[in-house]
Amino acid sequence: MTAMMTWLRDPNPQSRTQARLGQMWLGWLRMRRNPLAMIGLMIVLALLLMAAWAPLLATHDPLTQNLSQRLLPPGSAGHWLGTDEFGRDIWSRIVYGSRVTLYIVGLVALTAPAFGLLIGTVSGYFGGWVDQVLMRITDIFLAFPRLILALALVAALGPGVENAVLAIALTAWPPYARVARAETLTVRSADYIAAVQLQGAGSGRIIWGYVMPMCLPSVIIRVTLDMAGVILTAAGLGFLGLGVQPPMAEWGQMISSGRKFLFDQWWVATVPGLAIFTVSLGFNLLGDGLRDVLDPRSASR
């Protein structure tokens, strides 16, 4: 362990990997001092573990209906968060619902930034009319109301997780394109890019190998900060019945089904909302912390 630490702290790293890991270690040390960011990290880790170990954590089958046990309040024997209108255990449905949330968040986090990164780097690297056209398109998409557009798209494609992901991703990429373009503009005229150009590297290779890596940190921060928004949009679509279809468990849709019993069995709608709130809060806190660590401009504040 101590050998590992000295290796990480070595001021004269022997390899690129060592330098990179050393930097990450320093960043981790800085973030560890931020209690709110650590809470966020723990919430996100808890979500990951919950989704991974769902069958172990769930006390019941999330889909099994038991009408003799319907609408039990929290604290009932065997159902510590109560049951819904079909007698399904709410805790187990929350646990399995985390998989859906994570699935949506994961897919959006992979597709939208990748697309935005591509548009932004190409736009920034080539400049000229390419830049004009691509940024015009980005601006147009940025000017749209996101939820409404996602709604219209899901309405057209039909409800379902994949379509919800597609709709969210299609409305989420423009900010990443903007961020990536801004970063690209700052590195485009750097000497090391000129050196690669002189060695005869093609545009594709330069963008992929030398520009994109420089844009990644800013995009990653943006992604983490946006994840809460993605979760809320996904929950909104689920609430309107356009996300995951019943009987599968999804948090937004669980709230929607609990609406009918709001005044008599408050917990059916309340508990899934708390889950959404906690997870979004986790991503927000983690995003804030990451920004402070990875973005030197805001660290000085």
Partner 1 sequence: MTLIPDPTPTRRPSRAARRARTAAGLILSLVATLLGLLLVTFFIGRIVPIDPVLAVIGERATAAQYAAAREALGLDQPVWMQFLIYVRDALTGNFGTSILTRRPVMEDIARVFPATLELATIATIFGVLLGIPAGVVAATRPGSWIDQLVRLVGLAGYSMPVFWLGLMGLLLFYGILGWVGGPGRLDSGYEMMFEFDVPRVTGMILIDTALAGKWDIFRNAVSHIVLPAGVLGYYSMAYISRMTRSFMMNELSQEYITTARVKGMPEWRVVWVHALRNVMVPLITVIALSYATLLEGSVLTETVFAWPGLGLYITNALFSADMAAVMGGTIVVGAVFVFLNMLSDVLYRLVDPRARS
Residues engaged in binding partner 1 (CB under 8 A): 136-137, 139-141, 143-149, 151-153, 155-158, 228-229, 232, 235-236, 239-242, 252, 255, 259, 262-263, 266, 269-270, 273, 276-277, 280-281, 284-285
Structure tokens of 52?
């991974």
Shortest distance, position 132 Cβ to partner 1, whole Å: 11
Cβ at position 180, least distance to partner 1 in Å:
21
Nearer to partner 1, 108 or 212 (CB): 108
Dist. CA 112–CA 115, nearest whole Å: 5
- Closer residue to partner 1, CB minimum distance, 156 or 198: 156
* 193 vs 242, beta carbon nearer partner 1: 242
Nearest distance in Å: CB 251, partner 1: 9
Nearest to 105 by CA among 265, 287, 294, 293: 287
Tokens of 2: 């101590």
Nearer to partner 1, 212 or 228 (CB): 228
Question: Smallest Cα–Cα separation from 61: which of 86, 29, 30, 31?
Answer: 86
Task: Compute the least distance from the CB of residue 148 to partner 1, in Å.
Answer: 5
- Asked if 40 and 283 touch (Cβ cutoff 8 Å), the reply is yes
* Burial status of residue 8 (CB atoms within 10 A of its CB: 0-12, 13-18, 19 or more): middle
Judge contact between 243 and 257, C-beta under 8 A: no
Beta carbon nearer to partner 1, 26 or 148: 148
